[in-house]
Structure 1
């Protein structure tokens, strides 16, 4: 959000200087006189910043995955693209919707402004829709009283924070129309509870179920906090084979 605000400020300043030169400053310069440095830079940067701003605000925005809360779907260090128009076009900074389109579906991997601190962006998976009753108990997810079956795939070992070796099991789960993988640590404690999703809100969980601070801890994601739907991994410095992978 801070970067978007910075872009808006730079866009307004360079655009203002460019227009000021067209309608005021240029009239006071001698014919064929070179543009002042500030005007020259503004004229050069404004179109570029405008294009980048429009793409980031209404088409796609890049994000970097900072943690392992979405493993094995997303790894720390993945650079992803987020579709900015799937959930409707929104006013930059204010994030209010001015063109309604689709709403998040169960199983979507979505980016949103962290409710306790909207200046931070989070990424999780949509588990509960408005009106749903969610129960997470004994590492098992229930939606509206229906148990979601998990199929064991394999053991999964990884390093947490570069220090601790974590042993987990990889499962496959059908969540809405999406079949996705998740991690469970049988020996660890995880937050349990029953939740009813209010209207205009969503219940979000990480695929790394025992290592994710999500709606089980801080509550629901309001509609106005939505940023977009994650759909593509475009870079990873450590694992080139992940480049070009779609997110589901």
Structure 2
């Protein structure tokens, strides 16, 4: 009798869905159809009959477990249902719409600070389709504490980007997957694998497991997330001369909060910590300031004394190095009555090269496999590949091979070989190559403390994650949680010019 009554009740529920159920069903179906129109994933339409059954027809007892007589079983299933729903929701939102990102390093200071939490829009440049679809939400590549992968290597889906609300413009701050992060040494993940191979040799890196650990490969969307400012666009020729960026031979305006390392000469007065605090230097920046040098201890013919002559009172004074400042901060430092001279540190190195003494060059600069020498603050002219444009291997072949091999081989998945002065692409001799992707040149605003495209090269379009919209939380790591909240930064723009 009870079973008959239950069946009659279920039939009545199927026959008479309420207004609320109809509204839920219609909204779910509209969202499903809109998603299919946006992405082209027609298979998602299979969800429509499921939504109709959940809210209207109710032929399948989707929530039948709620009628379980055993309360413990019901409670467990309640939690499982809630957790699964939350994980699916987070995965869907993170994949197609928005993602949280925390600034881990000082490469964009003073524009974005260590401890800023960003809301990153994937709609701004168009969301990518899942490339590694089976992965745990909120985990980029590794389970915390356990250390094993948070994703399955297979299947790997082809890159596809859906229509966005805009496109990358010069000076946009962009979140992207670290291109050189395709390969990592598990015990030294913080150091670029290709720099390790250059310094120690590839064979040594692969053999010495005690030092470097296992060598791991990561798919595009499982590589570390980085955030930098886009300086060079596809098709540009970018160069840097004395810390000024040139695009197609024309100088461009530097970001307002761009920082450089400076040398400061005083009249012999120590610069107190209070002065650095007044200028806004972080504790990390203060720790990096070079120990001051008493210029009286140097011979007057030394290259340092020739660059920093005696102060007005005849005292050679003191020299401070590695002071990280914006132009505004440097101007304030110049106004201090005890300061004699303030110059960018790269300018000091260039002057030292001219007057004689130690030879200063940049130790690692892209392409790192090309044996060239570049003075500090400079970067050689480099063409940024553009989709559909062709590069010819007719002149400067050695340099072009070094600069574009990764694009052709690693990012666009061709076999590439260079031997006896000839180039072979996919087994065929070639004298040119037409690019399939757009590429971008990314740099940090903290120019002398940023590992960026000047070291590891271009960012392919399939590595682009999104655009920071706003800062939803900002914590000063030098303070405790409550006093360390930077209230003035909350809900301000995450794409500061």
**Band of TM-score, shorter chain:** 0.7 to 0.9
Output the aligned Cα RMSD. 3.2
Q: Distance in 1 between matches of 2:75 and 2:489?
A: 44
Conserved 8 A contact 1:124-1:204: yes
Tell me by how many angstroms 1:150 deviates.
4.8
**CA deviation after TM superposition for structure 1 residue 51, in Å:** 2.1
- TM-score relative to the length of structure 1: 0.74
**Distance in 2 between residues matched to 1:132 and 1:193, nearest whole Å:** 13
Residue 206 of structure 1 deviates from its aligned partner by: 0.5
The whole-number CA distance in structure 2 between the counterparts of 1:156 and 1:43 is 49
Greater RCO, 1 or 2 (C-alpha within 8 Å, sep 6+): 1
- 2:203 paired with 1:99: no
Superposition deviation, residue 187 in structure 1: 1.0
- For residues 12-32 of structure 1, give each alpha carbon's deviation from its aligned partner in whole angstroms, at most 9, with x where no partner exists: xxxxxxxxxx779x69xx963
Q: Say which SS state the counterpart of residue 99 (structure 1) adopts.
A: coil
In the aligned structure 1, how far is the partner of 2:255 from the partner of 2:176? 29
Q: CA deviation at 1:93?
A: 4.2
Which has the larger share of strand? 1
Residues 125-167 of structure 1 deviation map (CA, whole Å, 9 limit, x = unaligned): 0111110010012111101111124598896634436722452
Number of residue-to-residue matches in the alignment: 215
Matches within 5 A, 1:78-89: 78-89=116-127
Residues 150 and 63 (structure 1), Cα distance of their counterparts in 2 relative to 1, 3 Å cut? closer
Q: Could you tell me which of 149, 153, 170 is aligned with 2:326?
A: 170
Among residues 344, 368, 376, which one is paired with 1:186 in the alignment? 344
The separation in 2 between residues aligned to 1:230 and 1:152, in whole angstroms, is 18
1:242 aligns with 2:489: yes
Other-structure match for 2:450: 212
Q: Find out whether 1:42 has 2:80 as its counterpart.
A: yes
Larger radius of gyration: 2
Give me the whole-angstrom Cα distance separating, in 1, the residues matched to 2:85 and 2:490.
30
Instruction: Name the structure where helix makes up a greater proportion of residues.
Output: 2
- Report the equivalent of 1:130: 234
1:157 maps to what in 2?
A: 281
> For 1:92, what is the secondary structure of its paired residue?
coil
What is the rounded CA distance, in whole Å, between the counterparts of 1:152 and 1:55 in structure 2? 33
State the match for 1:32 in structure 2: 69
